[in-house]
Amino acid sequence: MFKTNFTPGPSQLYVTTEDHARKAFKELIPSLSHRSRQFEEISRSATEGLRTLLNIPGDFSIVFTGSATEIWERIIQNLTEHTSHHLVNGAFSQKFYDTAVQLNRKATVTNADLGKGFSESVAIPSTELIALTHNETSTGVSLPLNVVSRIRETNPEALIAVDAVSSLPYPDFDFSQFDSVFFSVQKGFGLPAGLGVWIINQRCIAKAEQLLAKGISIGSYHTLPSLVSMAKKNQTPETPNVLGIYLLGKVVEDMNRRGIQTIRRETEYKAAILYQALDAHPLLKAFVTEPAVRSKTVVVADCGQHTEALTNHLMKKGMLPGDGYGTHKKTQLRFANFPAHSKEQYELLVDSIQEFNG
């Protein structure tokens, strides 16, 4: 049985998750009513902890959904009437675009080759919503924050939604540069899957209310106004993943004690030593060649004909790498670099890669 899960999600559980889960079952947390005072306190603790950890401004609301995939749909339903524009450079940014098309929006797209990023000069047509993927999980490409700032500067009227599913809590976001950001908990937060977190500002809420006033359908039980209205009471419209919200609050509390700056420094150290090992290896290489767009949280290795052998080599040492995605499934491996992965685990991973000779 592997000891360290480096797949990009569901990934390695945070070190304290099991203990928190045991306590939750002992205290019957999974069977709590979502209208109880105890649940309201659990919800409040999770959202306040996230505000501290990610430095989320007070004028942003935090709501819970079933997944980040659901949030793609909710964003298109609630924040667009006609148009959205998507920067696509991998499978997950493509799926965000596909969601808009399936919902009959006039969605447009700017494509980049797999393994490539976008520059500050990327052209954005007039649109209601700009959909950005901060970290493309399928390819290990990150969107530099200066590019996000430039897009905000040149498109002040459009709403900007950022998919940060496989990057948070690492990035130090300036929330004034966008209107919506979202993630799910089974990646960077080291938790079981089944919970999405959607962070939105007042411009998003106003847009949803405008669409609703026009008689336009913006969904059913999870419309943005209903989510926000219930969140103000530390509640949800429906019975949520109570256990997931409880565990999120507890792990975020642990991360705050650890310190976000420590988490960021360790993330950068781990990414640096893995990229260094790949760049120096005679049989392997990093898929993303441009340092400025290399993800710190999902490192993708081009392994070619050595993919299966490297997988077996690592698994014998108790490490489970993530498969490549899509057309690269058999020629690449993906390595998550989340707060749940310790420096020692990463140093062992790097040592094992360095000694691999096919």
User: How does DSSP assign 180-217, residue by residue?
Assistant: EEEEETTSTT---S--EEEEE-HHHHHHHHHHHHTT--
Write out the two tokens for 329.
């499934």
Strands 106-111 and 83-88: parallel
Measured CA to CA, the distance from residue 346 to residue 245 in angstroms comes to 29
Asked if 198 contacts 62 with a C-beta cutoff of 8 angstroms, the reply is: yes
Mean pLDDT of the chain: 97
pLDDT of residue 221: 87
Give the DSSP H or E segment for 239: none
Measured CA to CA, the distance from residue 220 to residue 189 in angstroms comes to 28
Mean of pLDDT values over 9-28: 97
In a 3-state reduction of DSSP, which class is residue 60?
coil
Asked if 134 contacts 149 with a C-beta cutoff of 8 angstroms, the reply is: no
Measured CA to CA, the distance from residue 158 to residue 148 in angstroms comes to 13
Measured CA to CA, the distance from residue 311 to residue 321 in angstroms comes to 7
pLDDT of residue 122: 94
Q: How confident is the model over 42-89, as pLDDT tens digits?
A: 999 999 999 999 999 999 999 999 999 999 999 999 999 999 999 999
Q: How confident is the model over 155-208, as pLDDT tens digits?
A: 999 999 999 999 999 999 999 999 999 999 999 999 999 999 999 999 999 999
Strands 332-336 and 298-302: antiparallel
CA 143 to chain centre: 13
Q: How confident is the model over 27-54, as pLDDT tens digits?
A: 999 999 999 999 999 999 999 999 999 9
Asked if 142 contacts 135 with a C-beta cutoff of 8 angstroms, the reply is: yes
pLDDT of residue 358: 85
Q: Torsion over CA of 7, 10, 16 and 19, rounded to 10 degrees?
A: -130
pLDDT of residue 40: 98
In a 3-state reduction of DSSP, which class is residue 133?
strand
User: How does DSSP assign 66-108, residue by residue?
Assistant: S-HHHHHHHHHHHH-SSEEEEEESSHHHHHHHHHHHHTT-EEE
Q: Which phi and psi angles does 292 have, rounded to 5°?
A: -65, -25
Is the overall model pTM greater than 0.85, yes or no?
yes
Whether the per-residue pLDDT at 1 is higher than 70: the answer is: no
pLDDT of residue 348: 97
| Torsion sign across C-alpha atoms 70, 53, 11, 17 | negative
Laid out side by side, the sheet with 83-88 consists of: 61-65, 196-200, 180-184, 159-163, 129-133, 83-88, 106-111
Radius of gyration of the chain (CA): 20
Residues ≥6 apart with Cβ < 8 Å to 18: none
Give the DSSP H or E segment for 163: strand 159-163
Give the CA distances from residue 256 to residues 45, 176, 303, in Å, rounded to whole numbers and listed in that order. 12, 22, 37
Whether the per-residue pLDDT at 9 is higher than 90: the answer is: no
Mean of pLDDT values over 253-273: 98
Q: Pick left, alpha or beta for residue 104 (phi over 0 → left; psi -120 to 50 → alpha; otherwise beta).
A: left
Terminal C-alpha separation, the chain: 23
Mean of pLDDT values over 321-330: 95
Residue ranges of domains in the chain, CATH in brackets: 17-257 (3.40.640.10), 260-355 (3.90.1150.10)
